[in-house]
Amino acid sequence: MASAMRYALSRRFAADRYNLVMVARNAQRLKEISDEFRRSFGVETHWIAKDLAVPEAAQNIFDELQNKQIHVDILVNNAGFNEYGPFIATDLHQELRMIQVHIGALTALTKLFLPAMVQRHRGGILNVGSTGSFAPVPLNTVYCASKAYILSFTEALAEELRGTGVMVTALCPGATKTEFASRANMGGARIFQGSLMDAGTVAEAGYHALLRGKTRIIPGFVNKATVASLRLLPRDMVARIGRWMMTPESGFFPEGRLDARVSQDEIGHVYDRLSGMYDIWGKLAESRARRRAIDLAGIEDGQSVLEVAVGTGLAFFEIVKRNQNGRNVGIDLSTGMLSKARKRLGKLSGANYELSIGTAFNLMTENESIDLLMNCYMFDLIPYDEMDKVLTEFKRVLKKGGKLILVNMTEGEKLGSKLYDFIYDLSPKTMGGCRGVRLSEKLKSHGFTVEVREYHQQALFPSEVILARK
Ligand SMILES: NC(=O)c1ccc[n+]([C@@H]2O[C@H](COP(=O)([O-])OP(=O)(O)OC[C@H]3O[C@@H](n4cnc5c(N)ncnc54)[C@H](OP(=O)(O)O)[C@@H]3O)[C@@H](O)[C@H]2O)c1
């Protein structure tokens, strides 16, 4: 399937008896298809092995064809590639090369070959864009920005050229079966998991659009419908959907999963706002996992218990009830959640507890002083690379053999359970900043012994309950 689009486009023109000049880097492959098209269609074929990322390439190609007195009636700017991934991690050198191929070479080739076409009142330019020309697409940030240039450039030039006899068309395919995805190492992206268009069909659409003088062509009904709907949605929403489409199921982060996207500074405010309705959510989606956590905690009266991120006190209430003669300390970042927790604990007469503002990153607790540390739905808010700090704190305050109970939103394992990660991906704050995490391996790497790890799903919401010991 090597360079299937180039092959299909060249073949389509050769089939209509156009002589060909093909440009790419791989000389061997160029020679093979050059020979094939000469044999099959009886057309003249030439090839030039050239790296279009080199700024002088366009001028060199132009000069070479001038010297050979080869006139270009139709210019097809098809060469392209992607540097895929989070912008912070992608290779700048490759991105600058991509910009040179998609923008620099395409503009220069057009500039050089267009005047003769206009003079002859005949000719055409087919620029290969993408459905990504219509949208900002994360993880293809530079690729789609450069493809947007191709569309804008083509549309403006088409208007300039009206009445000259020269056509210019942007061919904007969606995901197509070629080497493109594997070369960019993006075969795992969701967009390439569905049915892909065939390069021959795409080339056919581009060829006919150019001959009919259409300014742009989006091949395929699904691609057309996608682009039409993108135009109706706010750009921010388009970018979020684009991000989801481009993310592999397995994610991009060290643990291969979604990473936290709401900053720790914001979390307190987010939960202040959510505190009014948190209990309804807790009952609907988290109550089974919390009940199981309390069972696993096996609280014995007289213990020293710390709950980090008490929230509205749903678990803390049960802890204090069972540990009347022990020490119960609860902390949380959100004043809104804490005031709910205080109200709830107020219902327990003569209860023995302290509730205060506090952060998991810096526990105001002595070393090795805690028998049981409970923590519900907090790690799912913390970026992976910050989790180690918190686990180090947890280990510091737990007594040897002390119990750590963790409950978190986890990755969905059953039907429908990926819904919440999907919502998170589109809008993290709608999910209160929670995304699915798996903590067992991290705990082990901190020297905890994981005794129990259970998956609980309620209202499609996936939770994991872990009992670990220091
Ligand atoms: N496949 C898709 O899903 C898809 C979707 C939308 C748009 N497109 C666009 O379609 C066009 C064709 O891509 P494709 O899908 O056929 O991918 P492909 O199989 O990877 O082919 C890419 C073509 O571009 C040439 N090329 C890449 N870098 C070059 C450079 N520096 N100098 C000269 N030639 C270069 C390659 O030849 P050499 O490697 O021999 O140089 C090859 O002929 C690209 O513009 C791409 O952005 C593809």
Compute, in angstroms, the gap from residue 86 CA to the centroid of ligand 1.
21
Indicate which atom in ligand 1 lies nearest the CA of residue 79: 24
The CATH superfamily assigned to 264-469 is Vaccinia Virus protein VP39 (3.40.50.150)
CA pair distance 169, 98, nearest whole angstrom: 21
Q: Is 455 a catalytic residue?
A: no
**CATH class held by domain 4-246:** alpha beta
- Binding pocket residue ranges, ligand 1, CB within 6 Å: 3-6, 24-26, 29, 51-53, 78-81, 101, 128, 130, 173, 175-176, 178-180, 183
Query: For 391, which DSSP code?
Result: H
Q: What are the backbone dihedrals phi and psi of residue 13, each rounded to the nearest 5 degrees, phi first?
A: -70, -40
Q: Are strands 74-77 and 45-49 parallel, antiparallel or unpaired?
A: unpaired
CA pair distance 353, 328, nearest whole angstrom: 5
Note the pLDDT of residue 359: 94
Note the pLDDT of residue 387: 93
Q: What is 78-94 written as a DSSP string?
A: -------S-TTTS-HHH
Strand-pairing partners, residue 47, are: 22
Compute, in angstroms, the gap from residue 81 CA to the centroid of ligand 1.
5
Residue from 32, 126, 180, 245 to probe ligand 1 pocket by mutation (most atoms less than 8 Å from CB): 180
The residue annotated as part of the active site, out of 143, 278, 353, 420, is 143
Q: Which residues of the chain have pLDDT under 50?
A: 1, 254-256
CA quadruple 436, 413, 375, 458: dihedral sign? positive
Kindly report, residue by residue over 221-274, the tens digit of the pLDDT. 999 999 999 989 999 999 988 988 898 876 655 444 567 777 777 888 888 888
CA pair distance 330, 320, nearest whole angstrom: 10
Residues 130, 149 contacting (CB under 8 angstroms)? no
Nearest CA to ligand 1 atom 21: 3
CA pair distance 22, 24, nearest whole angstrom: 7
Within the chain, which residue ranges are assigned CATH 3.40.50.150?
264-469
Note the pLDDT of residue 1: 41
Note the pLDDT of residue 254: 45
Note the pLDDT of residue 255: 45
Helix (H, G, I), strand (E, B) or coil at 205: helix
Residue from 147, 178, 198, 224 to probe ligand 1 pocket by mutation (most atoms less than 8 Å from CB): 178
Nearest CA to ligand 1 atom 25: 79
Q: Which two tokens stand for residue 70?
A: 């080869």
Q: Which two tokens stand for residue 153?
A: 């450039």
Nearest CA to ligand 1 atom 23: 79
Helix (H, G, I), strand (E, B) or coil at 288: helix
Please give the C-alpha separations between residue 275 and each of 113, 269, 424, in angstroms, as whole numbers: 65, 10, 19
Q: 334-339: long-range contacts (C-beta < 8 A, 24 or more apart)?
A: 334/267, 334/268, 334/269, 334/271, 334/272, 334/275, 335/268, 335/272, 336/271, 336/272, 336/273, 336/274, 336/275, 336/276, 337/271, 337/272, 337/275, 337/278, 337/310, 337/311, 337/312, 338/310, 339/275
Within the chain, which residue ranges are assigned CATH 3.40.50.720?
4-246
- Greatest CA span in the chain, whole angstroms? 99
Strand-pairing partners, residue 372, are: 305, 403
Indicate which atom in ligand 1 lies nearest the CA of residue 51: 32
Q: 188-191: long-range contacts (C-beta < 8 A, 24 or more apart)?
A: 188/248, 188/249, 188/250, 189/84, 189/139, 189/245, 189/246, 189/247, 189/248, 190/244, 190/245, 190/246, 190/247, 190/248, 190/249, 191/245, 191/246
Q: Are strands 461-469 and 449-458 parallel, antiparallel or unpaired?
A: antiparallel
Compute, in angstroms, the gap from residue 289 CA to the centroid of ligand 1.
50
- Which among 143, 128, 77 is positioned nearest to 107, based on CA atoms? 77
- Which among 267, 269, 311 is positioned nearest to 290, based on CA atoms? 311
